[in-house]
Structure 1
Amino acid sequence: MSSELNSTSQPRSFLARRRAAMLGSAVALGVIGTLGLQAVTGGATPAYAQSSAIAPQAGPQLPSFADVADRVKPAVVSVRVKIEAPAQQQQGFGIPGLPGPGGGDLPGLDQLPDDHPLKRFFRQFGQGGQGGEQRGQRRGGPRQFGMSQGSGFFISGDGYVVTNNHVVSTAKEVELVQDNGETLKAKVVGTDPRTDLALLKVDGDRKDWPHVTFGDTRQTRVGDWVIAVGNPFGLGGTVTAGIVSARGRDIGAGPYDDFLQIDAAVNRGNSGGPTFNLRGEVVGVNTAIYSPSGGNVGIAFSIPAEVATDIVAKLKDGGVVERGFIGVQIQPVTDDIAESLGLKKAEGALVAEAQPGQPGEKAGLKSGDVILKVNGDVIPQARDLSRKIASFKPGAKVELTYWRGGKEETTSLTLAKLPDQQAAALDGEDAEGGSQPTSAAKLGIRVQPAARVAGSGDKGLVVTDVDDSGSAAGKLQQGDVILEVGGKEVTSARDVSTSLDAAQKDGKKTVLLRIKRSDATRFVAIEIGRG
């Protein structure tokens, strides 16, 4: 036996007996295993004992964006813009996690020490890199150039392309790169900085460019699927998907903010690219993101299609956008302001000042009026008035419904052309207070005549001190000039007290102050009886 086990060449009879023994053992184990399983399962052999393959099973049908992406991608282009910039503005590669130029947390190469390993690396493999949406080139020579990158899309067969104003506003040359890699020359037809839109035209007479159309954003609901197509970080033809997160967003970009908020991934280089619905219609033009880190965090903003449609048509017609202008400074109507003016709810646009010689003043509008309607259309908020008036051309006649003295009144006016410079901001730096202040104890402030304070004008009272525990705390600040209290001009602290007493006698819980801060006027509602 021992000689058989140690042999390198086993006899056939021995191997035959071994195979027979192993086969018998396997059969026995199979029988025992089957009997055991039958005992546990009550006689039925489960499916996993019969086969080890996992059978495919129909699951929930998730949406696919492949079809719509295939249809629209040929119309989306990468926009490359050659810009001229001073040498000191050139940017190097960005290193995440360190503060510096180029947007977000990305520092320039020059900020690193000379012996830094990353600096040596970038020198070895070529300086110049993408920072934000701009890419600087090597320094040297009398002129410095860089490349700005964004996205765009054809909106007509004859070669018109929509993008963002901030992508091409300083363009020296513009190139478009199609999804198939073909490069096209283009020129800027017109731009509109207030909505951040621009219109380009491809060189040549071709009439069959693949293009897309604008949809109706009014039919787009929060929660609808959308896809964004563009050129993030220079990676052209990128498709991302998400939903509409919100509508009507005001992000402080301008007086006509009315953005769609989406959570599709949008990054640097997506600017000017389209947001599509699942029908392949453009419902928005990607223009901004909210990002503490500089990259996508799921909050992006698109210009609605109805805004883009109107602006693009005007740019195509004449290369510029002209807007109507009333000539009044306005501010929102808060609950406190509404209560003090006798309005049932906080709506409309409060006129802080009617500018001399402008259509609003000529039509009889005054400080303290609340514009409620334009041509019969309700104005829910102050920003709605700006957008509504801007939709009319200069020279158009409009009818305004406004609130004054506890009742509605109407007036008609002819719109002027919106000046290039926007109205001054309502907030500004404090003016310096003078001497000899007078107490207005009911508001918790100290004041003195404006004529005694250099640079404050000759009307009203300058606020020289504000009591942190008074009713005016957080509403007034040093340097404010109080022009009116409760609709009456004031020249002394006694005038303030008289107006406050009259408001309390009328049963009002708040009083409206008209103030001047820097070069702009505004209204402030302050609770009375606390100071």
Structure 2
Amino acid sequence: MNHKKNWIPIIIPILVGLCIGLIILLIQEKQKAANSSYSVPVRKATPSVVSIYTQVLQKRPLNNQTGSKHSLNLGSGVIATKSGYILTNHHVIQNAQSIVIALNDDRRTHAKLIGSDPSTDLAVLKIELPNLISIKMGNNQNVAVGDRILAIGNPFGIGQTVTAGIISAKGRNSIGLNTYENFLQTDAAINPGNSGGALINLKGELIGISSAIYSSSGGSQGIGFATPIDDALNVMRDIIKNGRVVRGYLGLDAQKITQTLADNLLLPINHGLLVSDITKESPAEKAGIEVGDIILEINNNPSEDPFQIRRLIASLKPGTNISLIGVRGQQSYQANITLEKQPAMQRVTN
């Protein structure tokens, strides 16, 4: 008996160690399975991604007389709230005579257009159905280049499709697709019909609204763009509240100063933004800003990128006071300017 008791202190640690090792092995196998499959985030997000069918009336010449025809266009959208607000692209619903939403659970219903914003190519729709599943929102501050992501939409009308890729770049702002650009770039396949669909992370959270592809053939070539969800939600809130996006307006055009530009124009400094145009009766003109001035700072933000300054001004509401530091000739100056509301159909300036 004493001999058996001497083995007990040895056997118990061995058994405990074996149990711990088995648990660790099971956890590792589970993690491997999770890393090899995207089924969990897809299962979370797909009920909130919808297909959008629009009927558009197109005018066409017919035997030298004016005629018209109806065409059916296709896009995607994302259920942003349980009350039925849907985010999509402006170009998906542009000129639509009727809008039909097809849900992932095979329900179909007509949608009401709440408003759209051509400057960011976003639109908000509303449907009235019970038991809607809204997507979980992500946070763009947590998005990094190299993150794995998934794109969900209805490419070519073949049905809901998931493609995988990574975030290739952030902050793309000079593509020339929209007035205000801050795109996430991805290599996930995005094709016609994906527009307005969801770009999600591996938690199943929405991080972007698929917007466009960069392609010479019309098909995916590994360069797709999506509007970050933080920007899209700001647009959505404005549209729901006001029917449109209300942006601050300064009324000037400017270009980035490079060393070459500074040398050619004999500018006193080689950085900042060179004012190239002032809109008449705009806040910039009222504040005394002139063509040829160099803008160094706006609200303590260095003025190096005209696209970033445009987005900064647009993000502020009319009535906001801004401080501008500029240079005219050899003299620096400070101007306090009150932003106004961007005029309707105004060509976009900062």
TM range, smaller chain: 0.7 to 0.9
Residue 384 of structure 1 is matched in structure 2 by 308
Residue 181 of structure 1 is matched in structure 2 by 106
- Specify which of 185, 194, 211 is matched with residue 119 of structure 2: 194
Structure 1 residue 279: deviation in Å? 1.7
Q: Tell me if 1:342 matches 2:268.
A: yes
Distance 1:355 1:289 in 2: 33
Return the letter of the residue paired with 1:316. I
Query: What is the 5 A alignment of 1:7-22?
Result: none
Distance 2:262 2:141 in 1: 30
Structure 1 residue 88: deviation in Å? 5.5
Query: What is the 5 A alignment of 1:76-475?
Result: 76-87=49-60, 143-203=68-128, 206=130, 208-249=131-172, 250-338=174-262, 340-343=266-269, 346=271, 348-406=272-330, 408-423=332-347
CA RMSD of aligned residues (A): 2.3
Output one character per residue of 1:106-162: Cα deviation in whole Å (capped at 9) or x when no partner. Answer: xxxxxxxxxxxxxxxxxxxxxxxxxxxxxxxxxxxx752111100001010100000
Output one character per residue of 1:365-401: Cα deviation in whole Å (capped at 9) or x when no partner. Answer: 1122222222222333011111111111222221112
Distance 2:95 2:134 in 1: 26
Contact 2:118–2:178 (8 Å) recurs in 1: no
Distance 1:75 1:181 in 2: 12
SS at match of 2:111: strand
Question: CA 1:320–1:424 in structure 2 vs 1: closer, same or farther (change >3 Å)?
Answer: closer
Return the letter of the residue paired with 2:98. E
Contact 1:214–1:309 (8 Å) recurs in 2: no
Structure 1 residue 338: deviation in Å? 4.0
Residue 4 of structure 2 is matched in structure 1 by none
Question: CA 1:163–1:88 in structure 2 vs 1: closer, same or farther (change >3 Å)?
Answer: farther
SS at match of 2:189: coil
Residue 446 of structure 1 is matched in structure 2 by none
Question: CA 1:421–1:77 in structure 2 vs 1: closer, same or farther (change >3 Å)?
Answer: same
Distance 2:293 2:136 in 1: 42
Question: CA 1:379–1:304 in structure 2 vs 1: closer, same or farther (change >3 Å)?
Answer: farther
Contact 2:121–2:178 (8 Å) recurs in 1: no
Identity over aligned residues, as a percent?
37
Identify the structure with bigger relative contact order (alpha carbons < 8 Å, sequence gap 6+): 2
Return the letter of the residue paired with 1:240. T
Distance 1:68 1:334 in 2: 45
Query: Which consecutive residues of structure 2, in runs of 5 or more, have no partner in the other structure?
Result: 1-28
Residue 72 of structure 1 is matched in structure 2 by 45
Structure 1 residue 337: deviation in Å? 3.0
Contact 2:186–2:222 (8 Å) recurs in 1: yes
Contact 1:224–1:243 (8 Å) recurs in 2: yes
Structure 1 residue 424: deviation in Å? 8.3
Distance 1:216 1:161 in 2: 18
Structure 1 residue 213: deviation in Å? 3.5
**Larger relative strand fraction:** 2
Aligned length: 313
Contact 1:245–1:261 (8 Å) recurs in 2: yes
Normalising to structure 1: TM-score of the pair?
Answer: 0.56
Distance 1:370 1:167 in 2: 40
Structure 1 residue 356: deviation in Å? 3.0
Distance 1:234 1:393 in 2: 39
Question: Rg: which structure is higher?
Answer: 1
Distance 1:88 1:277 in 2: 47
Normalising to structure 2: TM-score of the pair?
Answer: 0.83
Output one character per residue of 1:71-125: Cα deviation in whole Å (capped at 9) or x when no partner. Answer: 1100000001111112559xxxxxxxxxxxxxxxxxxxxxxxxxxxxxxxxxxxx
Contact 2:83–2:128 (8 Å) recurs in 1: no
Question: CA 1:159–1:423 in structure 2 vs 1: closer, same or farther (change >3 Å)?
Answer: closer
Structure 1 residue 255: deviation in Å? 3.1
Structure 1 residue 415: deviation in Å? 1.1
SS at match of 2:193: coil
Contact 1:351–1:370 (8 Å) recurs in 2: yes
Query: Which consecutive residues of structure 1, in runs of 5 or more, have no partner in the other structure?
Result: 1-57, 90-141, 426-531
SS at match of 1:222: coil
Return the letter of the residue paired with 1:232. P
SS at match of 2:239: helix
Question: CA 1:407–1:307 in structure 2 vs 1: closer, same or farther (change >3 Å)?
Answer: farther
Contact 1:80–1:150 (8 Å) recurs in 2: yes
Structure 1 residue 172: deviation in Å? 0.8
